[in-house]
Amino acid sequence: MSAPNHIPLTRPTLDDATIQGVVEVLRSGWITSGPQVKAFEAALSAHCGGRPVRAFNSGTCTMEIALRIAGIGPGHEVITTPLTWVATSNVILAVGARPVFVDLDPATRNLDLGRVEAAITSATRAIMPVDLAGLPVDRDRLHALAKKHQLRVIEDAAQSFGSTWQGKPIGAFGDFVSFSFHPNKNITAIEGGALVLNDEPEAKLAEQYRLQGVVRTGLDGMECEIVGGKFNLTDVAARVGLGQLPHLVEFTERRRVLARAYLAKFEAAGASRLGLGLPLPNFTDANWHMFQVMLPEERLTVKRAAIMEQLQASGIGSGVHYPAIHLFKLYRKLGWKDGDFPHAEYAGRNILTLPLFPTMADADVPRVVDALMGIIRQNLKP
């Protein structure tokens, strides 16, 4: 159990009404996919401008299903970033296609769209960008590029639910959009995800993939036309999601307040002079899913793990989001190696996620900053 003064990396916020709502679902006798899932999908659709939305048990299967609906499989390539949770590229492998990594923009830490065109080949079928820490990839440039080359776009928006682009919610426009409602996300359904689709035929196909490829008709009719999976969301999880949605704006604004405080405190503490990299101060579009700094590797005598250990000893949680995917053993076997994507590799070694969640106290921010800056100063090269 954590000490009372421990600051965790993140913590979900569940109100009493949501907890009571879950109790009511449990008592109802209908706890798997049912009326709560349909209500959650309707609420998500309203958030996404009326587009069809289907709920699933994770934000991983949503990407795989989008790839399958788009007809992507063996012999095809999908362009994506090497700096994300490995699920993003794993689902490309799962459908038999090949992920093609493109290095990141060191300022945004997202896929560098300026490098994408050079990676497009006759086998390319889609682009799968990721909104790291909730900062949206440039949607205008992204979709213009996809249109030019007749590519599908599968937005890994797992981290950007509640973010916007030019005033429109992420999910309200574009092609496929995949969300995650894991407990560390801005709103949670315990576990879960959602896929925003373009039309009802795609939505119907998503429903087939969601539950073993089965289509039901009447009271006893059943047919199976495609290979699906077991990806349905439970009503228990959906009820949690329904309870979270009304708090989305409140949660987002609180995260922005904390992020502003972080940036101001870091600047006042001399972060720039020490070479500590700070995130872009975007308070219009980003939902501030995470607050990440970039350690100045070239100026330190220790590696990131030692700094995380010292933070932990000070009662402060931290995380790594993420190691560079192409350097995992699975991807090295497919031909990638050190030096292929320098910006992603530097971030993979040095990016550090600091505590950020709605119930975090104002006083926690200076405590985290002071602790980290003190550790860095103690471990600077002479």
Output the CA torsion sign for 88, 253, 1, 236.
negative
Q: How far apart are CA 349 and CA 335, in angstroms?
A: 20
DSSP string, 265-285: HHHHTTHHHHT-B------SS
Nearest to 164 by CA among 92, 271, 253: 253
Cβ–Cβ < 8 Å for 232, 210: yes
Show the tokens assigned to 213. Answer: 């490829």
What digits encode the pLDDT tens for the residues 69-111? 999 999 999 999 999 999 999 999 999 999 999 999 999 999 9
Cβ–Cβ < 8 Å for 205, 219: no
pLDDT of residue 244: 98
Within the chain, residue ranges assigned H as helices are 16-28, 35-47, 61-69, 87-94, 113-119, 139-149, 200-210, 235-244, 248-268, 271-274, 304-313, 329-332, 342-350, 364-378
Given pLDDT bands bounded at 50, 70 and 90, which one contains residue 1? very low
Q: Is the pLDDT of residue 32 over 70?
A: yes
DSSP string, 144-202: HHHHHHT-EEEEE-TT-TT-EETTEETTSSSSEEEEE--TTSSS--SS-EEEE-SSHHH
Residue found under tokens 């609420």: 43
Cβ–Cβ < 8 Å for 163, 133: no
* Cβ neighbours for 177, distance < 8 A, ≥ 6 positions apart: 48, 155, 157, 170, 171, 195, 196
Show the tokens assigned to 78. Answer: 């999908």
Q: Is the pLDDT of residue 2 over 90?
A: no
Average pLDDT over the chain reads 97
Q: How far apart are the first and last CA of the chain?
A: 38
CA gyration radius for the chain? 21
Whether domain 16-246 has CATH 3.30.70.60: no
pLDDT above 70 as % of the chain: 99
SS3 category, 320: coil
Average pLDDT value for residue range 113-132 = 98
* Chain centre to alpha carbon of residue 337: 25
Average pLDDT value for residue range 177-203 = 98
pLDDT of residue 3: 55
Residues in the chain: 382
pLDDT of residue 158: 98
Cα angle value 244/245/250 (rounded, 5°): 85
What fold, for 248-378?
Aspartate Aminotransferase, domain 1 (3.90.1150)
Distances (CA, A) of 111 to 57, 86, 313: 26, 15, 34
pLDDT above 90 as % of the chain: 99
The residues assigned a catalytic role are 185
Q: How far apart are CA 328 and CA 351, in angstroms?
A: 17
Average pLDDT value for residue range 112-133 = 98
SS3 category, 300: strand
pLDDT of residue 4: 62
Decide if 16-246 and 248-378 have a common fold: no
What digits encode the pLDDT tens for the residues 325-373? 999 999 999 999 999 999 999 999 999 999 999 999 999 999 999 999 9
Cβ–Cβ < 8 Å for 365, 258: yes
Q: How far apart are CA 55 and CA 51, in angstroms?
A: 13
Average pLDDT value for residue range 370-378 = 98
Residue ranges of domains in the chain: 16-246, 248-378
